[in-house]
Every structure is written in C-alpha cells, then in structure tokens.
C-alpha cells in the first residue's frame, strides 16, 4: 500500500536509497524476472527522484514497469510534466489539484488504462472501505460496462496497483486507497454519473442488509455477521447518501434492516444516530417507519434510555395495530416488556409480555421478536423471584436456538440460565453458563451482551469464593460499560446486583486487594481480558455462599 507522506529522496546524493528499495521491491513483485542492473539503475534512480520518493507514486510506477522499461517511463513522465505545466490544457483541468509528482503518477497511470478500466476506476470510487466482486458487479455493470467484464477489470486494476486485493474473514475483497478513490470520484463527477452510481450503491447495500435481516435468526448468522461488518463502511456511506439527499424512506429502510448491527453487534450509538435522523426526515407512517421505530426503541434500551424506548414502544404498537404482520404483535410486546423490565417495573413488564399468544408466529418482518420476547420473559421471572420458571424458559429458548443453528439469542439464553442458576444456589453451574454466554456474545461483538455476561460471571465467582477473579472480571466489564455510557443499562436490579457483588468481593479480599484486582481487569486489553474470563479458575471452588444477583 502507499501513503502520501513526502520523502526528500535521500540526502542530496544521486540515489534516493529508501525510494529505490521500495520501487525495485514492488517491481520485482510485478514484473517476472525483474532485476536491478548497472544499465537500468540510473533510470530507476531518476524515476525515484522524479516521483519525489512518494510511496503511492512509486507503487504505480512499479506496476507500469511491466509494460515498458524505466527509460520509457521517465520519458512519459517528462511529457506528463509538460502537459501539467500548461494550465491551458483540458487534461490538467481534469486533475484534482494535488502534489504535482503524485498527480503525475496517477495521471499517467490513468492514461495507460483502457477506456473500460478508466470507467471502472471512476465507478469504483463510490465504494468505501473494502468491497467484494459481487458488489462491484452489481454496482458497476450496465450496457456500457457488461457484468462479464467486471472480474477481469478488477484483476487488471489490482495488477496496476489501482486496487488492492484484501483477504478477510468475509472472503476475498478489494480496496482502493483514498487518493486513488478521490481521483476516480473526480472523473465520475466529470462523467455526470455520480448520482446514478450512488443510487445503485445504495440499492445494492439495502438489498444486502435486508437479506442479512431475513437470515439473521438462523444457521448463516455468523456468515452474515462477518459480511455485514466487512460491508460496514459501505452501509455507512449508503446511509450518509440517503440523509444528504433527504431520501428519508430509503434511510428508514436501511437503518431499520440493520437493527442487528446496531443492537446485536456492538454499534448502538451509531445506530441511534442514523435512526434518529432518518425518523426525523420521513414521518409518513408505514412498515419502513415502524421497523425503524422498533429498532430505535431497542437500541435505546442498550444505551440505558428506557424513557425513549417506552415512548417508542407505544408509538410502534399503535403503528402496527392494523398490520397483518403476525410477528409485529410479538415485537411490540417485547419492546414494551423489555423497557419496563430494565426500567425496574417487572410486574408491568410481565403484563405486557403475557398479552401475546404462547405460540411462535410463522411469518413477518420481525423474525427475532419471539426469541427476544422469551429472553425478556425469563429475565422478568428472575426479577420477580420465579427462578425455576426463569430456568425453564431460558432452557426452552436455548433448545429452539439450537434447532435453528442460531448463536446470538442462544447466548442470551445461556446468560439467563446463569442468572437463574445463581439464584437457585448453583453458583458453579451459573459460572459455566456465563462463560458459554460470553463466548457466544464475543463471536458477534455484542457489547451489551458481553458486559452483562461478565457481570453475572463475577457474581457467580464471588459466590464460589473466587473473589480476586470476580474483582478482575468486574474491571474487564467496566471497560465495556464505560464505552456504552450507562452501566447495566440503568437497570436498578442489575445495578444493585453488581454493587452487591463488589461489596462481597471487597469483604473477602479487603479493599486494597480488591482495587488492585479490579484495576488489573480494567487496564487489560479487552480481547485478552475476555479470553482470561473465558478460562475457568484453576482452584476447585470452596463451598458456596449466598449469591449476589437481581432478585424481586
């Protein structure tokens, strides 16, 4: 990859050493059998000076040594400088006003591309971050650029260092450096195609978000997670485009379809930002607005804003009252019940949850609603002291998730099993469930889920007598809560349980040792801290003492 930090090309000698190493190293990768000889060394050194040691410019030049010797490349550069020196030329006006050496290198790279490659370069500038070949084909292809050509064009642009090939957890992807993207975007505007390409980009990523939403509760969840996280910069770019163009309906559809990214994958602040703006932009009632209201409501719960989630639950319930969507009834009951439970009103939460039928709906836009409702039901049972009932509901939830090959809600089921087992005096069992929950939540980077799993794990450890481990785990969890802004989502029951856990750990350890262990956890790299928390303590647990935990 290249940066655009300037190099002075050495210390005034004839040979810019670092630049020459970079140029010849890249050339050896690009050109089979390339070597530095006494004959080509002066031309290569001249090329480095000409391009002022700029890494990106050198990388582009190295790719072109496949097509012509260094002497020819230097001559082309001289011609290009002459063109750039003449501000009357149309060609100069077409280039963004950058550092001349970099403009030159990019400009002649552009000239040496075929017309189809130049068009692809311009159109690819609408992508942010990385993208896959399927996305490139969907967004680029039309009668001017047939889909069958796109894979070849991508390969050619990688060969010429316009694109970088990036292997990721979500498969093979491509990236364009910002400087090259800016150049492509400049040409795209010149072609008058920017609006068309931005709309195609938006439509493609909306379709992908909707496909992920539809498949989320199921065996492909982890695949969709990897893909959505890889697509995140493009999803963000599509949302920004919708808001800039005041396309409220598309913004609502996209932000609502991405509920799982905001709520389940650790981006509640970003989700709230987009949802609030989309809801303000398009106030017309309908399914898109309803889904966005629901999504905003449970994102608000994550952020501890239960007042907003309760208000949105009422608006959502009224909005879907006349819809034929069976799952919307469950979605409304879940949102109201969860907001009430987290607000510290479990009896009212139970009423809201009990107002829906026990059977799972077959169809609808809220596939996750039944699972979320069951999880909330188990949580409310814990808050009202019905621990056996809580355990039963949590185990049923885990079993159904197992049948569906699902990870995220299964981890909530394990968390709830931990809460219930802890209250039933089975602290070691609770710790095992909490570690399982933490492992599941970590796979999806569910920040709230990880923090809550760490809290119940600490409660279980202190009940087992592992006070130092409990203190350290409270410190690890505190890192996540600090980032979210409202510890324990503001739930009075969860706040009290955590306070009781800390108090018991301090009593067992003494305040000084507690602070040391807590600070160790708080200061640990989060990933390493979670790995530590997933490892069972070595010592056999002593006899259990009374568990701290949320009780009615």
Are the CB atoms for 500 and 548 separated by under 8 Å?
Answer: yes
Are the CB atoms for 190 and 130 separated by under 8 Å?
Answer: no
What residues contact residue 360 under an 8 Å CB cut-off, 6+ apart?
A: 370
Q: Which of 357, 367, 440, 362 is nearest to 398 (CA)?
A: 440
Q: Is 10 a residue whose pLDDT tops 60? A: no
Q: What is the DSSP string of 166-185?
A: EEETTEEEEE--HHHHHHHH
Are the CB atoms for 340 and 354 separated by under 8 Å?
Answer: no
Q: Is 97 a residue whose pLDDT tops 80? A: no
| 222-369 against 385-552: fold identical | yes
Query: Counting runs of H as helices and runs of E as strands, what totals does the chain give?
Result: 28, 3
- Burial of 199 per CB tally in 10 Å (0-12, 13-18, 19+): middle
Q: What are phi and psi of 407, to 5 degrees?
A: -105, -50
The 10s digit of each residue's pLDDT in 25-83 is 888 888 888 888 888 889 899 888 877 777 777 887 888 788 788 888 888 777 655 54
The 10s digit of each residue's pLDDT in 29-40 is 888 888 888 888
The 10s digit of each residue's pLDDT in 253-303 is 999 999 999 999 999 999 999 999 999 999 999 999 999 999 999 999 999
Query: In 3-state terms, what secondary structure has residue 75?
Result: helix
Q: Which of 30, 36, 106, 113 is nearest to 65 (CA)?
A: 30
State mean pLDDT over 135-163. 96
State mean pLDDT over 502-516. 97
State mean pLDDT over 163-172. 92
Dist. CA 419–CA 412, nearest whole Å? 11
Strands 130-131 and 164-168: unpaired
Which residue did the predictor score with more confidence, 357 or 311?
Answer: 311
The 10s digit of each residue's pLDDT in 202-219 is 999 999 999 999 999 999
Which pLDDT value is given to residue 357? 82
Q: Cβ atoms within 10 A of the Cβ of 124, count? A: 26
Dist. CA 346–CA 384, nearest whole Å? 7
The 10s digit of each residue's pLDDT in 396-452 is 999 999 999 999 999 999 999 999 999 999 999 999 999 999 999 999 999 999 999
Dist. CA 63–CA 210, nearest whole Å? 39
Q: Which of 218, 278, 47, 237 is nearest to 139 (CA)?
A: 237
Which pLDDT value is given to residue 418? 99
Which pLDDT value is given to residue 82? 52
375 alpha carbon, distance to own chain's centre: 24
**According to the 3-state scheme, what is the secondary structure of 183-230?**
HHHHHHHHHCCHHHHHHHHHHHHHHHHHHHHHHCCCCCHHHHHHHHHH
Q: Which of 334, 331, 397 is nearest to 365 (CA)?
A: 331
Dist. CA 523–CA 175, nearest whole Å? 34
Identity of the highest mean pLDDT range in 52-56, 84-88, 90-94, 539-543:
52-56
Which pLDDT value is given to residue 540? 52
Q: Which CATH number applies to 115-192: 1.10.510.10, 2.20.25.570, 2.60.40.10, 1.10.10.10?
A: 1.10.10.10
Are the CB atoms for 368 and 182 separated by under 8 Å?
Answer: no
pTM: 0.83
**What is the homologous superfamily of the domain 222-369 according to CATH?**
Tetratricopeptide repeat domain (1.25.40.10)
Dist. CA 156–CA 182, nearest whole Å? 19
Q: Which of 45-59, 85-99, 503-517 has the lowest mean pLDDT?
A: 85-99
Dist. CA 468–CA 461, nearest whole Å? 9
The CATH number given to 385-552 is 1.25.40
Q: Which of 317-331, 386-400, 472-486 has the lowest mean pLDDT?
A: 317-331
pLDDT-derived band at 330, boundaries 50, 70, 90: very high
Domain layout of the chain by residue ranges: 17-90, 115-192, 222-369, 385-552
């Amino acid at each position: 990859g290249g940066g655009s930090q300037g190099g002075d090309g050495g210390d005034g000698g004839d040979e810019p050493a670092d630049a020459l190493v970079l140029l010849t190293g890249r050339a050896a990768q690009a050109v089979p059998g390339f070597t530095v000889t006494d004959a080509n060394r002066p031309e290569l050194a001249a090329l480095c000076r000409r391009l002022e040691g700029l890494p990106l410019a050198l990388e582009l030049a190295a790719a072109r040594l496949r097509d012509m010797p260094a002497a020819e490349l230097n001559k082309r550069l001289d011609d290009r400088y002459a063109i750039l020196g003449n501000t009357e030329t149309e060609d100069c006006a077409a280039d963004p006003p950058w550092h001349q050496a970099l403009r030159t290198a990019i400009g002649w790279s552009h000239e040496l591309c075929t017309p189809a490659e130049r068009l692809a370069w311009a159109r690819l500038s609408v992508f942010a971050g990385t993208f896959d070949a399927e996305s490139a084909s969907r967004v680029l292809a039309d009668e001017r650029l047939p889909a069958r050509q796109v894979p070849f064009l991508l390969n050619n642009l990688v060969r010429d260092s316009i694109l970088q090939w990036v292997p990721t957890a979500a498969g093979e992807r491509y990236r364009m450096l910002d400087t090259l993207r800016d150049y492509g975007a400049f040409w795209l505007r010149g072609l008058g195609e920017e609006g068309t390409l931005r709309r195609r980009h938006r439509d493609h990523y909306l379709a992908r978000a909707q496909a992920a939403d539809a498949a989320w509760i199921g065996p492909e969840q982890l695949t969709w997670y990897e893909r959505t996280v890889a697509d995140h910069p493009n999803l963000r770019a599509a949302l920004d485009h919708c808001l800039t163009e005041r396309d409220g309906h598309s913004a609502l559809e996209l932000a609502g379809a991405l509920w799982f990214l905001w709520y389940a994958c650790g981006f509640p602040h970003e989700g709230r930002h987009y949802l609030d703006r989309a809801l303000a932009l398009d106030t017309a009632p309908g399914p898109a607005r309803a889904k966005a209201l629901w999504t905003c409501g449970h994102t608000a719960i994550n952020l501890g804003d239960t007042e907003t989630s309760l208000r949105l639950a009422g608006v959502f319930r009224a909005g879907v009252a006349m819809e034929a969507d069976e799952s919307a009834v469950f979605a409304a009951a879940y949102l109201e019940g969860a907001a009430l439970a987290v607000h510290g009103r479990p009896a009212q939460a139970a009423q809201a949850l009990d107002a829906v039928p026990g059977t799972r709906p077959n169809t609808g836009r809220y596939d996750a609603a039944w699972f979320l409702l069951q999880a909330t039901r188990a949580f409310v049972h814990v808050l009202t002291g019905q621990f056996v009932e809580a355990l039963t509901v949590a185990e049923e939830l885990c079993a159904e998730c197992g049948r569906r090959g699902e990870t995220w809600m299964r981890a909530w089921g394990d968390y709830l099993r931990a809460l219930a087992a802890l209250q039933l005096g089975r602290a070691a069992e609770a710790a095992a469930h909490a570690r399982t929950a933490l492992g599941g939540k970590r796979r999806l980077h569910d920040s709230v889920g990880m923090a809550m799993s760490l809290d119940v794990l600490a409660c279980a450890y202190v009940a087992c007598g592992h006070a130092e481990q409990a203190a350290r785990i409270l410190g690890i969890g505190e890192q996540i809560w600090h980032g979210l802004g409202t510890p324990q989502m503001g739930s009075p029951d969860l706040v009290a349980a955590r306070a009781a856990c800390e108090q018991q750990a301090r009593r067992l350890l003494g305040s000084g040792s507690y602070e040391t262990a807590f600070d160790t956890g708080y200061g640990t790299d989060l990933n390493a801290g979670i790995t530590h928390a997933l490892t069972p303590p070595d010592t056999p647990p002593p006899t259990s003492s009374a568990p701290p935990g949320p009780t009615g």
